[in-house]
Structure 1
Amino acid sequence: MCGIAGIVAAQGRPAPSAALGRRMIDVIRHRGPDDNGLHCDGQAVLGMSRLSIIDVAGGHQPAYAAQDRVCMVFNGEIYNFCELRRDFERQGARFRTRGEAEVILQAYLRHGADAIAMLDGMFAIAIRDQRSNELLLARDRFGEKPLYYAHGPFGLLFGSELKSLLQSPDCPRDIDPDALSAYLAYGYVPCPLSIFAGVSKLPPGHLLRYRNGGVELRRYWRPSLATRTALDAGEAGEKLVELLDRAVSSRLVSDVPFGAFLSGGLDSSTVVALMTRHLSRPVKTFSIGFKEAAFNELADARRVARHLGTEHHELVVEPDAVALLERLVWHFDEPFADSSAVPTFLVSQLARQHVKMALTGDGGDELFGGYDRYRRLLAMERLGPLRAPAGSTLHLAGAILPDPLGGRLQRIGERLRLPFRQRYLSAVALMRADTAAALNPAAGGPGHYRLPMLDAPGADLGAGGSALDRAVAMDLQSYLPDDILVKLDRMAMANSLEGRSPFLHPELAEFALSLPESLRVSGADTKVLLRRVASRWLPPPAISKPKQGFAVPLADWFRGPLLPLVADTLASRAFRERGLCDPKAARALLDDHVAGRGNRDQALWQVTCLELWARRFLDTTAQEEPSCCCA
């Protein structure tokens, strides 16, 4: 695992300096503290900071080919590189190292940009080809690894994290109002936007070519949501066992110690169960809990660990929430308000004391239909033409009844009256449109529940499919890459730990998406086929355990350890004058929450994270990582 960054100067512009390249890499040294390297030519600088996982001794980057006229840096892991290497050796290729970089370069030399579709892995790749004077950027299918870029008269900047681009004076720094509105809706900035206008995220499954001063984007992979497997339920179960086993075993290739995150839920427990089939020693597993019982899953994780015989490590934490939040804001680069980043950071910190790589269960909910919002959406769809009148009735009833029931009925009524896409996205959103509009008049409104990725022609991958397929397609294009995988990447990399997600193995993912709805969501049951298969390896409580999520006690924190921070933040002159949120509306949220008139914890978290981000990235240069004290 690594961090990459670089710049290609436009024709006629001065060559970028090595000093700028070093700054761009130094600021993300947490992503790769083991090694670093820099390439400089007359027009470009490419750099990387390396966390050594494969070919520890010989995997230095940048890597070169074609008499050093082709240079590459990449972040991630290629799980099928051994198979590709054997194919290329049969074709006459010779390799100097045991790592993946040479294999990627050989694929590029033979197939050009089409080589990217041959790779099974998580990656962000930059290839500078001086023969054609172009730069190729590529991002993996699901967006496991991040890649930002900015294009302008100066040329093209790119990097694994936004803070690398900010080292250049050419990087745009004006807030994108659409990105801010999206953040107030979802708690993250969806692809391809970034918080700064003029800086973009390369979408998952896409290539970017920079040549002759222009940028060309091309999608090289899209999930297939229209094809249905011809297998019956029994055959599909056996096929799923085979693919799960192959996916996990392929993610176990490593030259350093590794383990797994274990929550005790279905997805992470299934991954650990399959790991035990391939290892002669107990799997190292890691779990985090909080002292508040409602947010503590340690007993569930401990039960699975005992059942599978793992070497289990757990910790009940009482973090310094203020110091931890400052550190998380720095690592995310953009405003980010998924509060489960806190336990993700802490379990990564625990794991890094023992291992350098960990497997996770991320992706299982999207692929196998695990979210409760899928089940609720399908129930709404069964109302058919009755949705709109039912929505109006519920909204009126909610206006009469007291909270919390009245407010909940109003929210359901609002959703029932929305068009399909907005109806689903309203369940993904963290903040209601009226709350967002009160905080920022440019937010909220009719466009509150939208995704930029879906606005381009042909971008709606689920168009024409079932309601479940359409919802999953939206999650694969935004919630998974922009929230779930961002959280894993940044929090693991903050601790110089590599996280791998077996559920995102391409063949496994395609098969899961081909399952009929009844084998994913059926009535009140979710992950139907996955639960049936996993019952071979896991104790019954792990199979029947409701989805809890990696939650934190936010409501209590805003009445306790976070109250002084948020109160001082909302009262500060900087917050009042910045204009990102209306101070009176923000203060009303805090007053309601503290007085018990309603739970406003999520909106308060979004506002607090936004202002702390602004202080860090608008008011300072954000060069140094804040310290963190966690007990």
Structure 2
Amino acid sequence: MCGIIGVVGDGRREVPSAEVGEAMNAAIIHRGPDDGGLHRERDALLGMRRLAIIDLAGGHQPMLSDDGRVVLVFNGEIYNFRRLRRELEALGQRFRTDSDSEVILAAYLAWGRDAVQRLEGMFAFAIWDGRERRLLLARDRLGKKPLFVREHDGQLAFASELKSLLALPGFRREVDLGVLPAYFAFGYVPTPRSVFQGVHKLPPGHYAEFDAGGYRQHRYWRPTSTPVFTGSEAEAEERLAGLLHEAVADRLVADVPFGAFLSGGLDSSVVVALMARQMSRPVKTFSIGFREARYSELSDARRVATHLATEHHELVVEPDATAMVERLVWHLDEPFADASALPTYLVSELAAREVKMVLSGDGGDEAFAGYDRYLRLLALERLGALRGPAALALRIGGRLLPGRHGFRLRRIGERLGLGLADRYLSGVALSRPEQTIALIGEAGREGYASLHPLFHRGDVRPLLDRIVEVDLHSYLPDDILVKLDRMSMAASLEGRAPLLDHRVVEFALRLPVGLRVRDGRGKHLLRQVARRWLPAEVLDKPKQGFGIPLDEWFRGPLGGMAADLFASRAFRERGWVHPAAAEDLLARHRGGGENHAESLWQLLCLELWARRFIDGAGGG
């Protein structure tokens, strides 16, 4: 697990100096405190910071071919590297180390760009081929590892984190204000755009090439729900159990101490159960909770830990939210408003005291249809031809019924009247369009538009397959995996997600809807398989998100911090947000009658990001 940086040119002018490369590397030293390296020639500058997990003595990067003409920098882990190594040795390749990095380099030398499709794992890497004067960039199938790219004046720069690119000579911090509507709708900047003009993200499942002919991007993997699995439920259970066992086994390869995040929910509990079955010592598990009981799952995690006899570590935290949010903004790189990043960072810090790598349960909700919003949309769709009359009746009823219940009826009625894309996205969004319009003006109407291309016209697949695919292209890589990567890396901790093994995901997507959703609940098949290893109270408990007491905090210290920011000259002169609308939102929340914590968190994170990366020097 590492961070990578680089600049390559088309031959017209020399790449930046080694000092620039060192500065780019220094910005991400938290990603790799164990080792660092830099390679520079006239047309290529490549660097990395290393968190050593496999082959601690070997694996130094940048890694060069025997003739020194091909150079690799790599972030991630390749889980099938030993199988690939045997295949490459049979082809005559020789190895100097026991690292997965060298296997990537050898695979490229043997198979060229086709090597990307043979790799199983999480990765973002760059290979400079000095023989062909060509750069190859690649990102893993589901987007676990990040890669930002900037093409400018005949040179292409890349980095694991956006902050490294700020060290480039002449980099202009020009904000792409066109991403603000999407940010206020969803709390993140959707791929492929970034918050800065001229910088984009290489999408998951893609590789790109850059040479004198320019930049070219290619997709090598796409999630698909076809062909549909046609076996029996018992056969599906056996197949899934085998895939989960293999996915966890692959991720237990490490030369350092490791453990697991454990929330007590289904996904993390399944991962820990499979670890316990394959390890000769107790699994080290890590959980955090808050003083506010409704935000804490410590009792659930403790129950699972006892059942599986883990070496359990837990912590009840009362963080200084005003100090924490500024630290999160620095590590998250872009405006990012999923507040569960805070507990993810805290549990990463807890785990990093004991281990250097953890397994997590991320990905189960997308692969196995676990989100409640999927169930709510399916319920809306069952109204079918009655959608129009039902929408009208609900809106009228909502006006007649006072309070929260009336609001909910009106809200459902409004959603029924929308097209499919906005009907789904309105159930995902953090802010409604009218609120975004109040904050940033008429551009707020475009909040959902960035994800409209993911809804394909004429798609006849089951609705569940269509909306899960939308999340696999947006919410998963741009929110869930950003949070896991940045927050674990902020603590110099590697996070691995077995439920996002691409073989598991491919199998889950091909399951009939009835094997994923049954009796009003998602994750049916996963839950059935988990009954082999976990007690019923774990499997049948209601779903609980990884939340924090934001509403209370904005009536306390975060409210004071937000009030000062909204009243500041910098906020008013920036002109991105209408100050009066922000102040009104805060006043209504602090009054106690309304809860606008998520929108206030968005505003707070955006302004703190601007102060750090636009007004300030962008230092750590």
Are 2:254 and 1:254 equivalent residues in the alignment? yes
Asked if the contact 2:65/2:105 (under 8 Å) is kept, the reply is yes
Instruction: Please name the residue that 1:169 is paired with.
Output: 169
Aligned with residue 561 of structure 1, among 534, 547, 557: 557
Asked if the contact 1:276/1:308 (under 8 Å) is kept, the reply is yes
Partner of 1:21, secondary structure, is: helix
Asked if the contact 1:295/1:552 (under 8 Å) is kept, the reply is yes
TM-superposed deviation, 1:164:
0.5
* Deviates further, 213-222 or 135-144: 213-222
Asked if the contact 1:8/1:16 (under 8 Å) is kept, the reply is no
Instruction: Please name the residue that 2:439 is paired with.
Output: 439
TM-superposed deviation, 1:396:
3.2
Instruction: Please name the residue that 1:211 is paired with.
Output: 211
Are 2:445 and 1:451 equivalent residues in the alignment? no
CA distance in 2, matches of 1:220, 1:111: 15
Asked if the contact 1:20/1:168 (under 8 Å) is kept, the reply is yes
Asked if the contact 2:397/2:410 (under 8 Å) is kept, the reply is yes
Matching residue's letter, 1:181: P
Asked if the contact 2:9/2:211 (under 8 Å) is kept, the reply is no
TM-superposed deviation, 1:405:
2.1
Residues 494-520 of structure 1: per-residue CA shift (max 9 Å, x gap): 000000000111211111111110111
TM-superposed deviation, 1:213:
5.1
Are 2:596 and 1:600 equivalent residues in the alignment? yes
From the superposition, tell whether residues 403 and 573 of structure 1 become closer, same or farther in structure 2 (CA, over 3 Å): farther
CA distance in 1, matches of 2:542, 2:457: 29
From the superposition, tell whether residues 407 and 213 of structure 1 become closer, same or farther in structure 2 (CA, over 3 Å): farther
Are 2:527 and 1:543 equivalent residues in the alignment? no
From the superposition, tell whether residues 5 and 460 of structure 1 become closer, same or farther in structure 2 (CA, over 3 Å): farther
Asked if the contact 2:271/2:361 (under 8 Å) is kept, the reply is yes
CA distance in 2, matches of 1:175, 1:190: 15
Asked if the contact 2:256/2:357 (under 8 Å) is kept, the reply is yes
Residues 528-573 of structure 1: per-residue CA shift (max 9 Å, x gap): 0111110111111110121111000000000112121111111111
Superposed, which structure 2 residues align to 1:40-119 within 5 Å? Answer: 40-65=40-65, 67-119=67-119
CA distance in 2, matches of 1:17, 1:93: 34
Asked if the contact 1:3/1:28 (under 8 Å) is kept, the reply is yes
CA distance in 2, matches of 1:565, 1:489: 27
TM-superposed deviation, 1:51:
0.2
Superposed, which structure 2 residues align to 1:215-226 within 5 Å? Answer: 215-226=215-226
Superposed, which structure 2 residues align to 1:423-438 within 5 Å? Answer: 423-438=423-438
Q: Taking structure 1 as the reference length, what is the TM-score of the superposition?
A: 0.96
Are 2:462 and 1:466 equivalent residues in the alignment? yes
CA distance in 1, matches of 2:180, 2:521: 36
CA distance in 1, matches of 2:395, 2:32: 52
CA distance in 1, matches of 2:457, 2:136: 25
Asked if the contact 1:369/1:520 (under 8 Å) is kept, the reply is yes
TM-superposed deviation, 1:335:
0.4
From the superposition, tell whether residues 429 and 530 of structure 1 become closer, same or farther in structure 2 (CA, over 3 Å): same
From the superposition, tell whether residues 9 and 455 of structure 1 become closer, same or farther in structure 2 (CA, over 3 Å): same
TM-superposed deviation, 1:400:
4.0
From the superposition, tell whether residues 441 and 196 of structure 1 become closer, same or farther in structure 2 (CA, over 3 Å): same
TM-superposed deviation, 1:178:
2.5
Instruction: Please name the residue that 1:377 is paired with.
Output: 377
Matching residue's letter, 1:230: T
Matching residue's letter, 2:40: C
Instruction: Please name the residue that 1:411 is paired with.
Output: 411
Matching residue's letter, 2:245: D
CA distance in 1, matches of 2:443, 2:394: 25
TM-superposed deviation, 1:475:
0.4
Aligned with residue 509 of structure 1, among 492, 505, 510: 505
CA distance in 2, matches of 1:84, 1:163: 34
CA distance in 1, matches of 2:407, 2:135: 52
Partner of 2:449, secondary structure, is: coil
CA RMSD of aligned residues (A): 1.4
Asked if the contact 2:142/2:502 (under 8 Å) is kept, the reply is no
Asked if the contact 1:286/1:313 (under 8 Å) is kept, the reply is yes
Partner of 1:522, secondary structure, is: coil
Partner of 2:254, secondary structure, is: coil
Partner of 2:469, secondary structure, is: helix
TM-superposed deviation, 1:155:
1.1
CA distance in 1, matches of 2:9, 2:256: 38
Partner of 1:223, secondary structure, is: coil
Matching residue's letter, 1:609: C
TM-superposed deviation, 1:463:
3.4
Instruction: Please name the residue that 1:20 is paired with.
Output: 20
CA distance in 2, matches of 1:571, 1:273: 51
CA distance in 1, matches of 2:600, 2:490: 24
CA distance in 1, matches of 2:139, 2:300: 35
Structure 1, unaligned runs of 5 or more: 625-631
Instruction: Please name the residue that 1:619 is paired with.
Output: 615
CA distance in 2, matches of 1:61, 1:246: 29
TM-superposed deviation, 1:610:
0.5
Asked if the contact 1:286/1:312 (under 8 Å) is kept, the reply is yes
CA distance in 2, matches of 1:527, 1:242: 17
Residues 350-405 of structure 1: per-residue CA shift (max 9 Å, x gap): 00000000000000000001000111111111111222332233223334433322
Asked if the contact 2:292/2:549 (under 8 Å) is kept, the reply is yes
Q: How many residues matched?
A: 620
Instruction: Please name the residue that 2:285 is paired with.
Output: 285
Superposed, which structure 2 residues align to 1:316-331 within 5 Å? Answer: 316-331=316-331
CA distance in 2, matches of 1:334, 1:305: 36
Residues 36-62 of structure 1: per-residue CA shift (max 9 Å, x gap): 000101111000000000001111001
Instruction: Please name the residue that 2:34 is paired with.
Output: 34
CA distance in 2, matches of 1:6, 1:604: 37
Asked if the contact 1:223/1:461 (under 8 Å) is kept, the reply is no
Matching residue's letter, 1:585: A
Residues 586-607 of structure 1: per-residue CA shift (max 9 Å, x gap): 1111111111231111100000
Are 2:522 and 1:526 equivalent residues in the alignment? yes
TM-superposed deviation, 1:66:
5.3
Matching residue's letter, 1:323: A
TM-superposed deviation, 1:154:
4.5
Superposed, which structure 2 residues align to 1:580-599 within 5 Å? Answer: 580-599=576-595
Matching residue's letter, 1:215: Y
Asked if the contact 1:184/1:443 (under 8 Å) is kept, the reply is no
Matching residue's letter, 1:237: E
Instruction: Please name the residue that 1:627 is paired with.
Output: none
CA distance in 1, matches of 2:371, 2:453: 24
CA distance in 2, matches of 1:139, 1:579: 36
Partner of 1:609, secondary structure, is: helix
Structure 2, unaligned runs of 5 or more: none
Residues 160-181 of structure 1: per-residue CA shift (max 9 Å, x gap): 0000011113434222122111
TM-superposed deviation, 1:84:
0.1
Asked if the contact 1:11/1:213 (under 8 Å) is kept, the reply is no
Matching residue's letter, 1:520: R
Are 2:267 and 1:267 equivalent residues in the alignment? yes
Asked if the contact 1:359/1:499 (under 8 Å) is kept, the reply is yes
Instruction: Please name the residue that 2:473 is paired with.
Output: 477
Partner of 1:150, secondary structure, is: strand
Matching residue's letter, 1:412: I
Instruction: Please name the residue that 2:420 is paired with.
Output: 420
TM-superposed deviation, 1:132:
1.1
TM-superposed deviation, 1:442:
4.1
The percentage of aligned residue pairs carrying the same residue is: 59
Partner of 1:280, secondary structure, is: coil
